[in-house]
Amino acid sequence: MQFDKSDTALVVIDPQNDVLSEKGVSWGLVGASVRENNTVENLARLFAAAKNQGYGVFISPHYLYPHDQAWRFGGTVEHMMLEAKEFFRPDPLGREGLAGSGADWLDRYKPFIEDGKTVVVSPHKMWAPQTNDLAFQLRKRHVGKIILAGMLANLCVESHLRELLEQGFEVAVVKDATAAPRHPTIGDGYKAALINYGFLANAVLTTDDAVKAMQ
């Protein structure tokens, strides 16, 4: 893939406290993978490179509201999210209770996200962007190529990858700017994701590769 700011954007999924902060509700499952990949720092490097070179930046966040607690069925991790109130916001129309919560951005990313230029799309409710306006916002800006990063590797990132490919986008995944849960019986989500990235993505890059390609 060749990147150009005229048709390429950085898409970051869930750069939020609950999956990237040691105080987040999911740290026990994802912390080891985050540390091994240097995920927090690598995401910061991608943000900085994109902003410095004039690339568009899009955030696909995950928010769960009080009315989502009424869901009557779901998968294993979906139940975990609801029970732990991961990415929880008390009000879908207000910001009260958001600052510093698990649903808030990691502090070091706020200068990149809250600069008045980054596009924060509506929240995805499970894993993929079928439930938000990410694809619409990208198309309205003539973005056809995506540098994809964020959390979690085998869930939201892989689901975004699959849907964006189906929608006709060209997608490169940055494999060390993500991380995944490790579960004692289910397994290592990061290893599963890497295999599928290799089969599916138009390119699988390191952060070094992606930063260099944006220059």
Other C-beta atoms closer than 10 Å to the C-beta of 120 total 14
- pTM for the full model? 0.95
Cβ pair 28, 18 in contact under 8 A: no
Peptide bond into 20 cis (omega under 30): no
Instruction: Report d(CA 33, CA 74) in Å as an integer.
Output: 25
Cβ pair 101, 88 in contact under 8 A: yes
Instruction: Report d(CA 44, CA 47) in Å as an integer.
Output: 5
Report how far apart, in Å, the C-alpha atoms of 69 and of each of 24, 83, 85, 131 are: 19, 8, 9, 17
Q: Residue 78 above 90 pLDDT?
A: no
List the domains of the chain with CATH numbers: 8-213 (3.40.50.850)
Point out which residues pair with 150 in neighbouring strands.
13
Give tens-digit pLDDT for 163-203: 999 999 999 999 999 999 999 999 999 999 999 999 999 99
DSSP assignment of 12-54: EE--BHHHHSTTSTTHHHHHHHHHHHTHHHHHHHHHHHHHHHT
Question: Which DSSP category does 113 fall into?
Answer: H
Give tens-digit pLDDT for 105-135: 999 999 999 999 999 999 999 999 999 999 9
Percent of the chain with pLDDT over 70: 100
Give tens-digit pLDDT for 42-67: 999 999 999 999 999 999 999 999 99
The one-letter code for the residue type at 22 is E
Tell me which residue of 58, 109, 103 sits closest to 85, measured CA to CA.
103
